[in-house]
Amino acid sequence: MRYLARICYDGSKFEGFERLNNGKGVQNELERVLSEIQGKPVLVKGAGRTDAKVHALDQCVHFDFPMDMSLEKLKYVMNRNLCPYVSVRSIESVDNSFHARHNVKEKTYVYKIYLGEKNPFLEDYAYFFPYSLDVELMKECSKLFIGKHDFRNFVSGEREDYCSVIDDITISKENQFISFIFQGKSFYRYMVRSLVGAIVDVGLNKVSIEDVKNALDLKSSKTFRVVPAKGLYLVKVQY
């Protein structure tokens, strides 16, 4: 039987989602628990990788698990044995052809900036940024990225194809928090963090919207800030 599990985790306690030789990936923890329950190795496939310090409220994974156990009991046993920083939100049966990454239709990421006084309890969960930002200018800049674009100037590492489609970007300010919501199917390494960084540079009046447009249109290779991973959350995966 193949199962789809929706999980959440505190990224500050891991070195990313991906399985690592040192055992400090979220994937390692999930596979450890499932393998202990099953009594033999169980592999987990995720909807996508998240980098070190990135959080997830709705990461999705699939795994094959032949043991006869109810969904509620499997969820209960997993949560009893997982470390405190990972939790299974739900488990459901899926077709054996289902793949947590290949079947994704849309992902939603949120990036959080904190503008208030320094707060040690927010240190691992938002980007502390005690400078004035022009939110309306940032909203205008964000519109550049909606639609299909070649994002090679806004990702890290080499790829064969840098094209992706962003369906929507929403920026809002509530009290001392600014939230950036990104919706799309595929986001490459550091992509959301790089896009937020460029938008923030515009909000600081450090660069112009035209500078960002030229980089997006590949008319320049100008670089912008890349905001820290700790403010990034994977909040929804849709199939």
DSSP 122-189: GTTTSEE--S---HHHHHHHHGGGSEEEE-GGGS-S--S--EEEEEEEEEEEETTEEEEEEEES---T
Final residue of a structural domain among 65, 94, 123:
94
The reply to whether 137 and 217 lie within a common domain is: yes
- Residue 208: pLDDT band by 50, 70, 90 thresholds? very high
- Specify the DSSP class assigned to residue 28: H
Residue 100 counted as domain residue: no
Gap between the Cα atoms of 16 and 236, Å rounded: 17
For the question of residue 51 being annotated catalytic, the response is yes
Shared domain check, 121 and 88:
no
Distance separating alpha carbons of residues 2 and 92, to the nearest angstrom: 9
pLDDT of residue 68: 84
Q: What digits encode the pLDDT tens for the residues 149-182?
A: 999 999 998 888 999 999 999 999 999 999 999 9
pLDDT (mean) for 60-83: 95
Among residues 31, 61, 94, which one ends one of the domains? 94
Q: Are residues 75 and 127 in the same domain?
A: no
Let me know whether 122 and 144 are in one domain: yes
On whether the CB atoms of residues 29 and 46 are closer than 8 A, the answer is no
Q: Which of 94, 119, 150 is the last residue of a domain?
A: 94
Tell me what the mean pLDDT of segment 64-91 comes to: 95
- Classify residue 153: in a domain, yes or no: yes
Residue 146 pLDDT greater than 90, yes or no: yes
Instruction: Identify whether 101 is part of a domain.
Output: no
Mean pLDDT for the chain? Answer: 96
Verify that 219 and 131 share a domain, yes or no. yes
Question: What is the pLDDT, as a whole number, of residue 233?
Answer: 98
Instruction: Tell me how far apart the alpha carbons of residues 12 and 68 are, in angstroms, rounded to a whole number.
Output: 34
Whichever domain contains 156, its CATH number is: 3.30.70.660
7 and 117 inside one domain: no
pLDDT, residue 18, reads: 96
Please give the radius of gyration of the chain, using alpha carbons only, rounded to the nearest integer.
Answer: 19
Q: Do 83 and 38 belong together in one domain?
A: yes
In-domain check, residue 195: yes
In a shared domain, residues 72 and 154: no
State mean pLDDT over 178-194: 96
- Contact status, residue 209 vs residue 144, Cβ threshold 8 Å: yes
Catalytic residue, from 51, 64, 150, 211: name it: 51
- How far is it, in rounded angstroms, from Cα 40 to Cα 54? 30
Query: 6-15, 60-69, 82-91: lowest mean pLDDT where?
Result: 60-69
- Please tell me whether residues 84 and 155 are part of one structural domain: no
Residue 99 resides in a domain: no
**What CATH number is associated with residue 9?**
3.30.70.580
Pair (215, 163) in one structural domain = yes
State how far the Cα of 227 lies from the Cα of 194, in Å rounded to an integer.
Answer: 7
Residue 92 is inside which H or E element, if any? Answer: strand 86-94
> How many domains would you assign to the chain?
2
In a domain, 180, yes or no: yes
Is the residue at 103 inside a domain? no
Average pLDDT over residues 24-31: 97
Residue 93 pLDDT = 96
Report residue 221's pLDDT band, with 50, 70 and 90 as the boundaries: confident
Domain of residue 202 covers 108-238
User: Do 123 and 225 belong to one domain?
Assistant: yes
141 and 209 together in one domain:
yes
Query: Does a structural domain hold residue 49?
Result: yes
Percent of the chain with pLDDT over 70: 100
